[in-house]
Every structure is written in structure tokens, then in C-alpha cells.
A and B are shown apart, each in its own frame.
Chain A
Amino acid sequence: MTTLTHPPRTASPPARPRRTAGDGKWRRRIPLLPALVFTVVVTQLPFVATLVISTFEWNILKPGNRHFVGLANFKFVFTDERLRTAVLNTVVLTASVVLISVLLGLGLAMLLDRRFAGRGLARTLLIAPFLVMPVAAALLWKHAIYNPDYGLLNGTLNAVYRLFGADNGPTVDWISSYPMPAVVVSLVWQWTPFMMLILLAGLQAQPGDVLEAARVDGASAMATFRHITLPHLRQYIELGILLGTIYVVQTFDAVYTITQGGPGSQTTNLPYEIYLTMFRKYEYGQAAAAGVVVVLGSIVIATFALRTIASLFREEVSR
């Protein structure tokens, strides 16, 4: 049987002779250094650079006009209409994708937790959406599914209408009529299998004897779910929400591919807006300032997230 947290280890390791403590300490740290140095150089230094650039007026279309402007870019970031829309879109996009895929993933995990004919095959087919390359998936939804003229959605509608004797189905241009839902649906399709996998692992780690005891005591399926399964799943649900949020907040592929942020800026999320500021408007200072604000926001969210993760292996830490 598997558990989310490691069982507490037996008593603390035997005290080692003090004599070599100094050497040993350093010898133990050596294996850490390459990865630490590499990570600091490649991930932390760029942020220092971002911080510096964010205090400059710097548009590469106006060469020779690069100068220090202090916090002006930040003032711009906090007052710009487009950026505010982008923040809102990011929240809407992330929250709806994560919540819907957790709910659908929970439903699928509950179904797949039971034995039925072809369960293994069903699980295999279900994880496929998560394994399709995100850019490929986005193009697939844009052209093969949402396209008003020959997409699968309208095509199916058409076929159904003809089946019932009507001439033709309605021609809905899904992406321009429902831009945000179109992006959300394609992402939910990609992320539901991820949630399902994590929640299925949680369900299968349920202690069998407790479930058995509940059944013997005559608890209804609903009561068992509410009082035993759901509390047990809580950690797994939190983990799913957390990891899902980290990845979905950064969504770039789907927005770039399906809607290019449009129509207008209806589906422009923060990563895409920063990308536009950088590579379309060439406003490096503003892009950097927006980046800094995003990092600060992420740190706030990450603080909560790290606490959740810390609780996941609290028992192991206590060894």
C-alpha cells in the first residue's frame, strides 16, 4: 500500500564522533553545489536583470533614448487598462481551468477506482490528452474542432440536425463567439487527466480496513464518501490544485495559438501580455516592470503553496 507521506523514521541517527564533523559537513555539501550554482545563475540572475531593466525607459524602436526613470514603469503597470484586463483574464482562466478539471478529474477518478470491463484501457485512453504536445493540442482545437466550416463541433451538430431531417445545423464560430470558454475548454481537456491521475492515486491509497468498517457499520455510499473518502483525498486535491495552478497560470501556448489574446484583449493573459509588450511594442522597461509585479504576486501565492507542500511531508521532516 502506498501513502502520501513517509512514515516517521525510527529514532534520530546515532551521534557521530565530533572529530570529523567539520570535514564531513563539507564533504556532504559538495554534491549539492553544481546544481545549486547552476540554478542560481540561470534562474536568479535573470530576475536581478529584470529588476534593473524595470527602472529604465527602454524602447528599442527609439535607440539612444534609454534612461533611468525610477518607478515610472511600475506606475504604468498599475494603471494600465490592458494589464489590468490581463490580470483579470489570468485569474479567470486559471481558476476556471483548475476548478473544472479538479471536479471532472475527481469524477473520473471515482469511476476508474471501481473494477469494470476494460478499465486499464480506459485509463490509458484518458491520459492521452495530457500527453499530446500542448501546441499540437491548441492547433487541434482551433482548426479541427472549433472551426466554423469544417470543425468537428459544427460538423457533428450538422450531422445530428440532418439525422432529424433538418437541412443544416447552425454555423457557430466558437472562437470568436466564446473566446474565453474556447480556451478554457481546451485547457480543461488537457488538465483533467492530470487531476484524475493524482486523485486516482489518492483513492487507491485509501486504507481498506476503514472502508470495510464503514460498510459493516452500514454507512451509505454518500456518507462514506463525505466522511472518509473526501477528508482522505484533501491532501491530494490540494496538491492537484497547487501544481495545476503553477502550470496553468503560465499558460502561453494555448493563448498564443488559439486566440492570440483576442478578440480585442478578451483572452490576453499576463504571460501573453508581457510577451506582446516585449516583442510587439518593444517596451522593454514596461515588460520588465510587469514581470517584476508577476514575480511578486507569484511569491505571495507560492508562500501559501509551499506551506501546503510542507505539510505533505511534515512527518518526514520530524525525523
Chain B
Amino acid sequence: MSPLWTFVAWLATLAFFAPVAWMVLTSFHQEADAATNPPSPLATPTFDQYRLLFSRDITPFLLNSAMASVISTLLVLALAVPTAYALSIKPVEKWTDVMFFFLSTKFLPAIAALLPVYLIVKDAGMLDNVWTLVVLYTAMNLPIAVWMMRSFLAEVPKEILEAAEVDGAGLPTVLLRIVAPVAMPGLAATSLICFIFSWNEFMFAVNLTATNASTAPVFLVGFITSEGLFLARLCAAATLVSLPVLIAGFAAQDKLVRGLSLGAVK
């Protein structure tokens, strides 16, 4: 590529990355250095903000987030894998209708479900409970996971499956020896996407939890009213809560596209 276009590409990249870089940089500053105009990017770095966050106890929020995301991801996989199997390897009749039913639930705006969910959860005494979020996040990610897993399972070569059956291999053998090796990367990608969406979810978390079950995004909005007094600490918190997804996303870039497109793009 000509030097000009390389330059343009890098300029655009840096423009998009600048806010992230700024967030990380500011998180290592003292408050006094963070709130200056013009900015002072070269101030002495410090870990103070991170230390303050943990002493102000961000830990329970992170644990709630981890619990809601990890458990709901495991539940999604437990429900989605058999479903995807029934929709790809030995497709049931009208399997496309089932696929579209799952997808159509994603089109329904979550806000329209918030009121009944809130009332039901309140009646059941399950407000401010991490398990409520686990159930909701499972429902939220299940359709995506079914679509993704189906697209991965559809890649298992039919000829090999049939050959194995002719040779008298039982279902466990087929699953373990033929399906699993092909599906493993897909399983990892699906888990990653479900984890990201649950970890980042805000609307249900903020409206259905109060003190015990609040997740990381809810901790963050505590900064909404602070008129810039704690900019450096806000940046440290924002960096900290984004870190798991950033690391996972960078590590699995190639899988990300397929996940985000429900398996339609490889």
C-alpha cells in the first residue's frame, strides 16, 4: 500500500484508539493531574487510583459480575449445544423455523420485558439477587449461542458421521471422537461472546439490583453525579471493568467476527 494510505490507516486507527489510550493513561494519574486544561499526559504515573478502588470495595461488584456472567454462560452452553445439535447434525423437520423463532426473540426490545420481569421478580422476592441476572442473561444469550453453535456444528463433515454410524459407532463415540474436535473452537467462541454480553449488560442490572447483587456497570454509574472530582478514579474503574473483555477480545479476534455475526460470516 502506498505510504499515503498507510499514513491514513494509522491516523484513523490512532483516532479511534485515542479515547481508550486516554482512559488508561488518566487511570494512572493523580486527580490533580487528570483534571487539567490543557491535558498533562506526562504527569508522574501512579497506582493510587487502583488502590483506592479496591479499598472503596469494587470487589463485590466484580464478583457479582463474574458470577452472573460465568454461570449464565455455562447455562447457555448446556442449553444451546443440544439444541444446535438437533438443528444441524440430525436436523429436525422445519429446523429453520426453530432457528428463526430463537432469533426473533432477539428482535424484541428488552425494555418491553422490563416491567413484567420487574413485577414477577419482585413478587418472587428475587430483587437484588444475582440468580435473577443469571436467568435473564441466559435467556438474552441463548438465541445467539444457538445460531453460533449451529453454524460450527454444521461444519462437521456428514460423510464421516455416516461412515462412523455404518461402522457401528454409538452416539457417545460419535460425539466425543468426531463432533467435539470440530466444535471445540466454536464452543470457545460462543462462550466468549456470551460472557462479553453478560459482563457488559446494564439495563437489567441497574433496575433489578440494589446493594447485594449489583454488577460492575452499576458500580460505574455511581460516578455519574460526581462532577469530575474523581476523573482519574473513574478512568481507573472504567479500565478495570473493561479489562477482562479487552483481553479476551484481543486474544480471540478471529473468532469475534463469526460470533458477532451469529455465525453468518467466517
Residue of B whose beta carbon sits closest to that of A254 = B202
Binds A, one of B16-24, B50-58, B180-188: B16-24
Q: Is A131 close to B, CB under 8 A? A: yes
Do residues A239 and B220 form an inter-chain contact, with CB atoms below 8 A?
Answer: no
**Residues of chain B lying within 8 A (CB to CB) of residue A252:** 111, 202-203
* Residue with the highest number of chain B CB atoms closer than 10 Å, among A144, A239, A310: A144
Complex CA gap A310/B90 in Å reads 20
Q: Is B13 close to A, CB under 8 A? A: yes
Binds B, one of A64-72, A151-159, A175-183, A211-219: A151-159
Residue of B whose beta carbon sits closest to that of A197 = B257
Complex CA gap A111/B16 in Å reads 14
**Residues of chain B lying within 8 A (CB to CB) of residue A315:** none
Give 8 A-B pairs besides A50-B115, A126-B17, A143-B223 with Cβ atoms closer than 8 angstroms: A28-B86, A38-B79, A44-B105, A45-B116, A123-B253, A135-B217, A155-B37, A284-B119
Do residues B242 and A136 form an inter-chain contact, with CB atoms below 8 A?
Answer: yes
Interface string of B241-253 (1 = CB under 8 A from A): 1100110011001
Complex CA gap A205/B266 in Å reads 9
* Residue with the highest number of chain A CB atoms closer than 10 Å, among B9, B93, B100, B117: B9
Do residues B139 and A42 form an inter-chain contact, with CB atoms below 8 A?
Answer: yes
Given contacts A39-B102, A295-B109, contact A144 B19 (CB under 8 A): yes
* Residue with the highest number of chain B CB atoms closer than 10 Å, among A108, A122, A133, A143: A133
A8 to chain B, nearest CB (A): 13
Q: Is A53 close to B, CB under 8 A? A: yes
Interface string of B1-43 (1 = CB under 8 A from A): 1000110111011101111101100100000001111110000
A173 to chain B, nearest CB (A): 13
Complex CA gap A49/B16 in Å reads 43
Interface residues of B (CB under 8 A from A): 1, 5-6, 8-10, 12-14, 16-20, 22-23, 26, 34-39, 79-80, 82-83, 85-87, 90, 92-93, 96, 98, 100-120, 135-136, 138-139, 142-143, 146, 154, 158, 196, 199-200, 202-203, 206-207, 216-217, 220-221, 223-224, 228, 231, 234-235, 237-239, 241-242, 245-246, 249-250, 253, 256-257, 260-262, 264-266
Complex CA gap A156/B116 in Å reads 47
Given contacts A50-B116, A309-B103, A313-B264, contact A122 B142 (CB under 8 A): no
Binds B, one of A74-82, A224-232, A286-294: A286-294
Complex CA gap A37/B20 in Å reads 41
Q: Is A36 close to B, CB under 8 A? A: yes
- Residue in A39, A50, A309 whose beta carbon sits within 8 Å of that of B113 in the complex: A50
**Residues of chain A lying within 8 A (CB to CB) of residue B241:** 133, 136
**Residues of chain A lying within 8 A (CB to CB) of residue B217:** 133-136, 253
27 A-B residue pairings within 8 Å (CB atoms): A4-B264, A28-B92, A31-B82, A31-B85, A38-B142, A112-B9, A122-B13, A127-B250, A132-B245, A133-B199, A133-B220, A137-B19, A140-B235, A143-B231, A143-B234, A147-B231, A150-B35, A159-B38, A198-B261, A201-B261, A202-B265, A252-B111, A271-B109, A288-B115, A291-B113, A305-B107, A310-B100
A255 to chain B, nearest CB (A): 11
Q: Is A166 close to B, CB under 8 A? A: no
- Residue in B92, B114, B260 whose beta carbon sits within 8 Å of that of A243 in the complex: B260
